[in-house]
Structure 1
Amino acid sequence: LILGRRSAQRFDAKFTMALAAFHQLLDALLPRAAPPWEAWPFTPRLHPLLFVHRVEGLTPGLYALPRSGEAESDLRHALRAEFDWQRVARAPDRLPLFQLLPTDSRGVIRTASCHQAIAGDSCFAVAMLAEFAPLIRETPWRYRQLHWEAGLIGQVLYLEAEAAGLRGTGIGCFFDESVHEMLGVAGTDHQTLYHFTVGRPLADDRITTLPAYPGRTRNESGALP
């Protein structure tokens, strides 16, 4: 999976992702004593806000995945008061997935992601909302740490998408203030730091694809030396 991982350039705008694969992907984002989270000894500070477009059996709309026990109440206070915060009944008990607003979000997240089609054509897009200003005021170096955490979340999304036969891509260009307005975030206590999106990729024949790590061969077990 690591050797074959690629970023998608385009997505099939009609493909619907399986619900079990969606749950598996989100479950992998939760802290646990397993790679890569066992190498991350810090309290989770980034929480995915999910713009779901096409997932089997799931109403399109905005969802939240608080990654710590304290984050749910914090996000309820930080986001729009009119959000539903309805626990998703079909999600596994271990998965704290909440529906905030049933809506077609393809257009708004595409616009907020610098008008990139990948945000709206995918099965779902993610805005990673960080616990920001209080943490940074107390320990300024953690500004960098928040981006490391965003990178870890992104890499897990990449690999889980590949494992599901799909593909992901990071979105580094987005209008953060537009996203904050959409979510009802005021001030700087919370900030969106990174976006991501997952779906079924479409090949772009204009792009040359070469084997990863040329010159490296596998041994009899299939592993790279």
Structure 2
Amino acid sequence: MAHKPLTTLPTLVVLISGSGSNLQAILKAIQTGRLQARIAAVISNRPDVYGLQRAAEAGIPTAVVDHTAFANRDGFDETLQQQIDSFKPDLVVLAGFMRILTPAFVRHYQGRMLNIHPSLLPLYKGIHTHRRVLEDGGDEHGVSVHFVTPELDGGPLIMQAKVPVLPSDSETSLAERVQVQEHVIYPQVVKWFVEGRLKLEGNQAMLDGNALTRPIQHLSGE
């Protein structure tokens, strides 16, 4: 079977704020042929993060839009949007991007922006999710992939993976086990999107034409 010409591959722009481990998982899926897409650019709001090095080593163009250089969120988002749009992506992938985005920015990418969040949404929106589940004595934790909407971590859910909270868990050990699952489910959801199987219709995630009334559960085997 002939390979799809590079120019016709769906394009991704990945936004990061740190080490880029989910970027690496998506890149690996592309390199192994599991994901038929190309990463047009990796953009960070922080300079000198390891994720930018990962991208550069893979030959992917990088850019930095430093949020500290802007007086307000609107100015940052406008500049970031210009950078993203210069690459004409089919999908914007938030991969550990630690900025709250303005409603106007989110609406611009409505239906073509995904986020991954380290909790079983709608539980534990926001930050410090591993610490909070441990403080609450929870026995289950995990990760969610969702479409991005103006509500923080509140967009339509697509897929989740659960991990047990062990009596011996620290914040670090729990985060590490959740991250293993992140690297499985995020490339899968991106694959569904670029294949045209996953869409956002109104405020409803649709997979293969069927409404996802609850997120698909990945069985992690744990």
| TM-score scaled by length of structure 2 | 0.24
Q: Relative contact order, CA 8 A, sep 6+: which one is greater?
A: 1
- Higher strand proportion: 2
